[in-house]
């Protein structure tokens, strides 16, 4: 039987979250025997995110407009995916609209939406939309929503994820990581019994207060700060003499080390190795859930404050305890209250319970393949 071929279109808007999700999706499909063409307008992040590539995934440049040479001699595909509301390149549509699949059907057109726990997701998932104009007029586009319930498209999860986690050697991975760290504050050497906390964030309003909280905590903490915006946010605070003096005058229980850019695989390892994780955006939220460790999510901030509703919907779905709800709200700037005292034992149990519930659902790739089969 001839393998399926999918075309996935991705525009990198900000922070590499879009390309991160699309790459994991492409690799997940390829692992099931699908041949994937990933069209992306900026593939530069893949150089460090996925330097080894993936068998079965071909990355193609999505230029504006899409160059004719990239459309010549294209093998017809079974599915077109436009990720996160981007419109498939009109040049591609015009050139490929007449193609049919091996079974004589037109390619299935899917709009893969953003992840949310809001109620509209269940209502909107798998609904069709008729295209009324353009070269594909009369065709249907289907809206596919990832989500956290059985009435949605599920979450990205590799078939071998549990095996990878079981075989993960935390000590060996940390030993390999240590020479690549840049130590910026506190003890440059590992301290026996210190807890590890990973930080992947934008610029959370409560960042300074939280650092002070860690510095005065009874347990020694090493903060592992990811490259990019998180490192810049922390370094900007430490360049402020008042903040630095405040941290130095506390008990000194905090050490800060900066990470190099991590591959997606090593980012998973970071979340598995840490005692608790602070993550941002969509892809890292899902990875934090699968890690099963206590986590705090900084949602992508929107100017119209729509992210407030989205965060509350997630906290409700996750059945977050009160202290975690308050921490998340303050961390995301929804409240100006004080950060609650850390309760990692309760937060950890909540994270494990959430992971167990979501593991009962079919994963996103499986649901997409089933949807494609049933819709054709």
Min mean pLDDT across 65-69, 302-306, 318-322 is at 302-306
Q: Nearest-CA neighbor of 138 among 127, 150, 130?
A: 130
In which region does residue 239 sit, left (phi positive, over 0), alpha (psi from -120 to 50) or beta (all else)? alpha
| 169 is a catalytic site residue | no
Fold of 161-358: Rossmann fold (3.40.50)
What is the SS3 assignment for 323?
A: helix
Query: Given a cut of 90, is residue 122 above it in pLDDT?
Result: yes
pLDDT at 13: 80
CATH number for the domain running over 5-157+362-375: 3.40.50
Across all residues in the chain, what is the average pLDDT?
93
pLDDT in tens, 92-101: 999 988 888 7
Q: Nearest-CA neighbor of 339 among 325, 348, 326?
A: 326
Give percent of the chain with pLDDT exceeding 90.
Answer: 79
The residue behind tokens 């995934």 is 57
Retrieve residue 92's tokens: 């591609």
Query: Given a cut of 70, is residue 109 above it in pLDDT?
Result: yes
- 1 falls in which pLDDT band (50, 70, 90)? low
Point out the catalytic residue in the list 78, 91, 118, 282: 282
Query: Given a cut of 90, is residue 69 above it in pLDDT?
Result: no
Point out the catalytic residue in the list 7, 18, 91, 268: 18
pLDDT at 222: 97
Alpha-carbon dihedral angle through residues 22, 360, 371, 81, given to the nearest 10 degrees: -10
What is the SS3 assignment for 267?
A: helix
Is 5-157+362-375's fold the same as 161-358's? yes
- 164 falls in which pLDDT band (50, 70, 90)? very high
| 268 is a catalytic site residue | no
Retrieve residue 9's tokens: 């279109």
Q: What is the mean pLDDT of residues 249-274?
A: 94
**Is-contact 131 138, C-beta < 8 A?**
yes
pLDDT at 81: 98
Tell me the whole-structure pTM to 2 decimals. Answer: 0.96
pLDDT in tens, 22-39: 999 999 999 999 999 999
pLDDT in tens, 210-249: 999 999 998 999 999 999 999 999 999 999 888 888 888 8
Q: Which residue has the higher pLDDT, 304 or 88?
A: 88
Domain boundaries, given as residue ranges, for the chain: 5-157+362-375, 161-358
327 vs 321: CA distance, rounded Å: 10
288 vs 154: CA distance, rounded Å: 15
């Amino acid at each position: 039987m001839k393998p399926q071929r999918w075309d996935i279109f991705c525009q990198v808007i900000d922070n590499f979250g879009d390309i991160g999700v699309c790459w994991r999706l492409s690799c997940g499909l390829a692992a099931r025997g699908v041949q994937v063409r990933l069209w992306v307008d900026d593939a530069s992040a893949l150089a460090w995110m996925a330097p080894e590539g993936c068998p079965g995934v071909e990355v193609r440049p999505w230029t504006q407009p899409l160059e004719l040479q990239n459309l010549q001699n294209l093998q017809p595909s079974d599915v077109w995916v436009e990720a996160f509301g981007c419109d498939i390149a009109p040049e591609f549509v015009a050139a490929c609209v007449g193609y049919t699949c091996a079974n004589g059907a037109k390619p299935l057109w899917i709009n893969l939406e953003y992840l949310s726990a809001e109620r509209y997701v269940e209502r909107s998932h798998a609904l069709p939309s008729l295209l009324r104009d353009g070269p594909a007029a009369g065709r249907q586009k289907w809206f596919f929503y990832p989500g956290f319930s059985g009435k949605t498209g599920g979450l990205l999860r590799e078939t071998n994820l549990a095996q990878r986690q079981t075989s993960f050697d935390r000590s060996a991975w940390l030993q390999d990581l240590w020479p690549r760290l840049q130590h910026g504050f506190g003890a440059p050497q590992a301290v026996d019994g210190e807890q590890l906390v990973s930080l992947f964030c934008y610029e959370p309003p409560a960042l300074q207060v939280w650092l002070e909280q860690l510095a005065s905590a009874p347990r020694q903490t090493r903060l592992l700060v990811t490259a990019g915006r998180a490192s810049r946010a922390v370094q900007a605070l430490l360049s402020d003499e008042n903040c630095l003096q405040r941290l130095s005058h506390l008990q000194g229980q905090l050490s800060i080390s900066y990470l190099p850019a991590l591959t997606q695989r090593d980012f998973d390892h970071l979340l598995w190795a840490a005692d608790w994780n602070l993550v941002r955006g969509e892809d890292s939220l899902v990875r934090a859930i699968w890690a099963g460790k206590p986590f705090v999510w900084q949602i992508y901030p929107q100017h119209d404050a729509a992210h407030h509703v989205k965060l509350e919907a997630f906290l409700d779905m996750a059945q977050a305890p009160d202290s975690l709800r308050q921490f998340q709200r303050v961390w995301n700037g929804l409240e100006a209250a004080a950060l609650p005292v850390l309760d990692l034992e309760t937060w950890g149990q909540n994270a494990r319970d959430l992971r167990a519930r979501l593991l009962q659902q079919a994963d996103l790739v499986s649901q997409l393949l089933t949807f494609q089969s049933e819709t054709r």
